[in-house]
Structure formats: C-alpha cells, structure tokens
C-alpha cells in the first residue's frame, strides 16, 4: 500500500511517469522503505495506463466486494412439539464467568489524563 500511495502522490504532484527513484525519494522522506521488486512490479503494471482509468476500474471491483452488514444467522434451539414421554433438549443458559480486572498500576508514573 505504501508503494501505491507513493505512486499516487507522485502522479498528483504532476509527475505522470514516476520512476523507481522518485518513489524511493517519496517513501524515504517519511522514513518508509520498500523493496525494489515491489516498486518494479507496480510500475510494470501501471505502465502506459491513465491513473483516473485505474481508479475507476478499482471502484467497479470494490463495488462487488461485500462489506459487512451481514451477520451469521443462528437458529434458536426448539423443543419438540407434542410426544408423550420424549425428553426435550433442555437448553441451559451458559454461566458467564466474571473476569476480574487487574487494578491499574502506576505504569503511567503518576500522570493521569484527568488529574
């Protein structure tokens, strides 16, 4: 992602065809490093392509990706309906164990956000 971000920054600054050195300079300015193989891979994949077309194609792909909102449906246990001596499966509620929280230590060296 940081290589892609560096590429986008270079393009947004007006450099339509950034080189490996350009991307390394951008990444180095914030103390980040990236391997030459990743930079070369990215540059080979975007060579000769318009950045706005790449972004539009990416948006179309992201539109088909499910992004939350769906939960797992869990069926509630049901008891048997009728039947004279058929034992019904009794659903016992799970006992929740209370986890005691450790008292806060003085790791903050006596400073507190609310003091």
pLDDT digits (tens, 9 = 90+) for 101-112: 555 555 556 665
Specify whether the CB–CB gap between 48 and 31 falls below 8 A: no
Residue 45: domain span: 2-63
Total structural domains within the chain = 1
pLDDT tens digits for 18-53?
999 999 999 999 999 888 899 999 999 999 899 899
Burial of residue 7 (CB within 10 Å: 0-12, 13-18, 19+) is buried
CATH number at residue 24: 1.10.10.1410
Non-local (6+) Cβ contacts of 11 within 8 A are 18, 51
The pTM (predicted TM-score) of the whole model is 0.54
Segment among 54-58, 82-86, 94-98 with least mean pLDDT: 82-86
Banded pLDDT at 100 (limits 50, 70, 90): low
Is position 27 within any domain? yes
Q: Specify if 26 maps to a domain.
A: yes
Cβ proximity of 10 and 26 under 8 Å: yes
């Amino acid at each position: 992602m940081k290589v892609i971000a560096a590429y986008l920054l270079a393009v947004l600054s007006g450099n339509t065809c950034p080189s490996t050195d350009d991307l390394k300079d951008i990444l180095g300015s914030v103390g980040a490093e990236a391997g030459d193989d990743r930079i070369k891979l990215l540059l080979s994949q975007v060579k000769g392509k318009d950045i706005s077309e790449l972004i539009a194609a990416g948006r179309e792909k992201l539109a088909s990706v499910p992004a939350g909102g769906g939960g797992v449906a869990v069926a509630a246990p049901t008891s048997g309906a009728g039947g004279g001596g058929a034992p019904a499966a009794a659903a016992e509620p799970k006992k929740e164990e209370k986890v005691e929280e450790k008292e806060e230590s003085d790791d903050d060296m006596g400073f507190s956000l609310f003091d």
